[in-house]
Structure 1
Amino acid sequence: MPYEPPPHLASLTLSQIAEQVEARKLPPVEGWAPKQEGDSNMRIAADGTWFHEGSPISRQGMVRAFSGLLIRDQNGAHFLVTPFEKLSIEVEDAPFLATDMVARDENGTPALAFRLNTDELVIAGPDHPIIARGDAETPALYIGVRRGLEARLNRSTYQQLAEHALAKGDDWSVSSMGETFRLKP
């Protein structure tokens, strides 16, 4: 069955975004206890490019499939998990990039939704916080995705979020799903 990417984020209501998020079926890696461990010989570069044995993975379907198997442990190490193996994977910064953002306000609840480089949609809130790191000179914004994983906002998405914050006030904070997030480290 061919892959159908979700519709353009700007054309979706908050309810439609929530439906897209709910429709994504991920493997139940939390319940797997693989006995074999090793190295995947894979790396995710800071720009979101996935590599295997030094060569970029050019098939986006493979990247989407691998991304569903990805976890981060409490020590910050990343792994690909199957029922049979737990393989380490090098991640230079964050395993995902947030490539687009849209602000919605339905029923008086402001929400910020992000599209990742894997076409996954994430709505910022208690389970998906926006995190500011770095310093005033080189700030970096991230959004929590799942299983300890994060997505770094790319430059254009960072700018979208900054413009949204400035339109709401001058305190460099945004609200989504009942939570308020500071955008300054």
Structure 2
Amino acid sequence: MAEPLFEQLQKLQEEFTGHPQVNSWHPELCGDMDMLIARDGRWIHEGTEVQREALVRLFASILRREGDDYFLVTPVEKWRVHVEDVPFLATQVARGKRNGEPLLLFTTNTGDVVPLTRNAGWSLRPFGDQSQPVPYVEVRDDLWARVSREVFYQLVNWAMEDQAQKGSGDAAHAELDIISDGERFPLGSY
């Protein structure tokens, strides 16, 4: 059952025509918008959560990062918005194969499907008061998604399965990696 879902996600990712070319738009800064992208993935405008998913997806499609700042950009306007951590959350992951290689596909809270490929941005970073760093995956153009707790546990489970298949190694300290597109990506250690 997981294979058909993976194939559907991969097909969507391949067919998706992309986002507007916000990096080619250079309007003057209009100011700061009272828009917050909260660390839990909620988009909040003037103190009220944006409830319409289509509107959140529209905002997400015109989001651009410049250094540490984030902007909603159109050909004629540019508004700075506040982001508490990163703008997206990876809320789902599917595992399958492409060209015979294992491939992971992450789906974000705004509907982006992100393949974890050899050239993908992947990092472990501190988050909140957690003692272990958590994984982040680049969605596009230096816009990142933090891997949700549920997805992280799924990745750990897959990493443990892979490690058990190849042998346990040092039981006192082991690094966990996931494999996607022929590359190893670190998850942490235990």
TM interval, short-chain normalised:
0.7 to 0.9
Query: How many angstroms does 1:166 deviate by?
Result: 1.1
So what's the TM-score if we normalise by structure 2? Answer: 0.84
Runs of 4+ aligned residues of structure 1 deviating over 3 Å after TM superposition are 8-11
Alpha-carbon distance in 2 for matches of 1:127, 1:146: 12
* Cα pair 1:127 1:144 within 8 Å, conserved: no
Query: How many angstroms does 1:137 deviate by?
Result: 1.8
* Cα pair 1:172 1:182 within 8 Å, conserved: yes
Higher mean displacement: 122-131 or 134-143 = 134-143
Higher mean displacement: 113-122 or 23-32 = 23-32
Query: How many angstroms does 1:150 deviate by?
Result: 0.6
1:159 alignment counterpart: 153
Q: Which residue identity is paired with 1:18?
A: Q
2:74 alignment counterpart: 82
Query: How many angstroms does 1:127 deviate by?
Result: 3.8
2:96 alignment counterpart: 104
Q: Which residue identity is paired with 1:52?
A: H
* Cα pair 1:78 1:88 within 8 Å, conserved: yes
1:147 alignment counterpart: 141
Alpha-carbon distance in 2 for matches of 1:127, 1:55: 37
* Cα pair 1:115 1:122 within 8 Å, conserved: yes
Q: Specify the structure having the higher radius of gyration (Cα).
A: 2
- 1:1-12 matches, within 5 Å, as 11-12=4-5
Structure 2 residue runs without a partner (length 5+): 164-173
Query: How many angstroms does 1:10 deviate by?
Result: 6.2
1:5 alignment counterpart: none
Give % identity. 36
Alpha-carbon distance in 1 for matches of 2:131, 2:15: 39
Assess, with a 3 A threshold, how the Cα gap between structure 1 residues 17 and 91 changes in structure 2: closer, same or farther. same
Query: How many angstroms does 1:19 deviate by?
Result: 2.7
Question: Is residue 2:71 matched to residue 1:67?
Answer: no
* Cα pair 1:99 1:154 within 8 Å, conserved: yes
* Cα pair 2:137 2:146 within 8 Å, conserved: yes
1:172 alignment counterpart: 176
Partner deviation per Cα, 1:87-125 (whole Å, 9 max, x = no partner): 111111111111111111243211111111112211111
1:48 alignment counterpart: 41
Q: Which residue identity is paired with 2:156?
A: A
SS at match of 1:12: helix
Higher mean displacement: 114-123 or 19-28 = 19-28
Query: How many angstroms does 1:36 deviate by?
Result: 3.7
Alpha-carbon distance in 1 for matches of 2:26, 2:117: 30
